[in-house]
């Protein structure tokens, strides 16, 4: 590493998260993109796949097996689940890894086997993997060699609920999480439910009572509370390219009111650059975070006594994926945490 410049590799650089990693790297003074892999586009120039990034001086896309890892400092893995574990296990030990797939998010390998339908291929690495929710695992991330970035839904849900469960302000048995995501959350591959004629002018539900982000959410909420938590979690696709919106309904604990909820969230993120509780009367929506690494939170008293309605929103490709990954890289290498991530939301 010379002059604080990191030599960076991105595996799966042709996906949406890979493209946003490249886009964000353009404004990061300490990132030098040295290896970009995309097996289905190997041999192409990056601008042939993503013309909007043609002004960047980027290496051509190559196959994973043709990559030279020896000179790299950090690798971002943006591959589908089930393909990352073996690759990470084969990498040189000096290279730090930030994984954007689900392959190292679940601490229990048996839980991974159950939800992802196959055995964990690198259980020895799982023991040292750090869950990469930046605001809540910062100290662990600093010393990590392998960081598992949270899924986009878990990021939005956990930033909202972890402080409240730690403070025991909510009845954990009452949590109902209604989640909505733009179509990029389904990836760039061709799928029937993301075709324009299927998804346009429509909202649809998927993964009912069985979405793979549920055990990830429950895992981290259980850590926060100190006992097992189960949630009712239902995701939906909405007809926009990027963005995520979470509506959560819950009973409060005895003696707790809405002001306790707001004060808890406000204090939890008082000094955080990317997470903010909206003031009373301020709007909250995906349009206020689009293209940024921000997450907005909002808390409201329900008209039913003893219940609250909570909201969170983020850009699923930035704070929900690539932006959080770079935030974790900054923490790992001792950079200013906001470096390369100061883009303000695009509105309208």
**How many angstroms separate the Cα of 1 from the Cα of each of 9, 22, 332?**
14, 19, 14
Q: Which alpha helices (DSSP H) does 226-303 contain, by range?
A: 258-268
The answer to whether residue 72 is domain-embedded is yes
If asked whether residues 168 and 294 sit together in one domain, one would say yes
In a shared domain, residues 265 and 124: no
Is residue 264 part of the annotated active site? The answer reads: no
Same domain? For 187 and 91 the reply is no
pLDDT tens readout for residues 119-176: 999 999 999 999 999 999 999 999 999 999 999 999 999 999 999 999 999 999 999 9
Is residue 120 located within the same domain as residue 187? no
**Which of these is catalytic: 77, 149, 152, 295?**
152
**Within this chain, do residues 124 and 178 fall inside the same structural domain, yes or no?**
no
Residues 198 and 230 in one domain: yes
Within its chain, how far is the Cα of 41 from the centroid? 25
Q: Please indicate, yes or no, whether residues 167 and 137 belong to a single structural domain of this protein.
A: no
Q: Are residues 32 and 160 in the same domain?
A: no
Residue 19 lies in a domain: yes
CA distance 74 to 97: 6
Alpha carbons 213 and 235: distance in angstroms, whole number: 9
Query: Is 347 among the domain residues?
Result: no
Confidence category of residue 3, pLDDT binned at 50, 70, 90? low
Question: pLDDT value at position 195?
Answer: 86
Which residues 6+ apart lie within 8 Å of 131 measured at CB? 105, 107, 137, 140, 147, 148, 150, 220
Q: Which domain holds residue 238?
A: 153-316
Please give the average per-residue pLDDT across 306-328, as a whole number.
Answer: 98
**pLDDT reported for residue 4:** 78
In this prediction, residues 306-315 reach a mean pLDDT of 98
Q: Say yes or no: 161 and 310 in one domain.
A: yes
164 and 302 together in one domain: yes
Indicate whether this model's pTM tops 0.85. yes
**What proportion of the chain, given as a percentage, has pLDDT over 90?**
92
């Amino acid at each position: 590493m010379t002059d604080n410049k990191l030599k960076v590799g991105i595996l799966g650089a042709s996906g949406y998260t890979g493209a946003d990693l490249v886009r964000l790297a353009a404004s990061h003074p300490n990132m030098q993109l040295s290896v970009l892999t995309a097996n289905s586009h190997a041999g192409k120039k990056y601008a042939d796949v993503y013309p909007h990034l043609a002004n960047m001086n980027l290496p051509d896309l190559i196959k994973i097996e043709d990559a030279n890892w020896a000179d790299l400092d950090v690798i971002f893995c943006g591959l589908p689940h089930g393909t990352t574990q073996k690759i990470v296990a084969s990498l040189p030990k000096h290279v730090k890894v930030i994984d954007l797939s689900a392959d190292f998010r679940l601490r229990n390998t048996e839980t991974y086997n159950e939800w992802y339908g196959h055995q964990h291929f690198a259980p020895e690495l799982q023991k040292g993997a750090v869950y990469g929710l930046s605001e809540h695992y910062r100290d662990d991330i600093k010393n990590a060699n392998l960081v598992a970035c949270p899924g986009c839904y878990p990021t939005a849900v956990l930033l909202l609920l972890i402080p409240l469960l730690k403070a025991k302000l909510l009845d954990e048995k009452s949590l109902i999480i209604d989640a909505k995501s733009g179509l990029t959350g389904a990836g760039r591959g061709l799928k029937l439910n993301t075709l324009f004629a299927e998804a346009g002018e429509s909202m649809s539900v998927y993964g009912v009572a069985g979405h793979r982000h549920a055990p990830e959410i429950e895992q981290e909420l259980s850590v926060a509370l100190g006992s097992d938590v189960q949630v009712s979690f239902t995701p939906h696709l909405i007809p926009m390219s990027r963005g995520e919106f979470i509506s959560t309904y819950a009973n409060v604990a005895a003696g707790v009111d809405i002001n306790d909820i707001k004060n808890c969230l406000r204090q939890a993120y008082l000094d955080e650059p990317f997470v903010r509780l909206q003031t009373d009367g301020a709007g909250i929506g995906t349009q206020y975070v689009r293209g940024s690494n921000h997450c907005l939170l909002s808390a409201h008293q329900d008209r039913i006594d003893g219940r609250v309605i909570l909201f969170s929103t983020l850009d699923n490709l930035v704070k929900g994926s690539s932006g959080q990954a770079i935030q974790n890289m900054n923490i790992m290498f001792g950079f200013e945490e906001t470096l390369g991530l100061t883009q303000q939301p695009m509105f309208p």
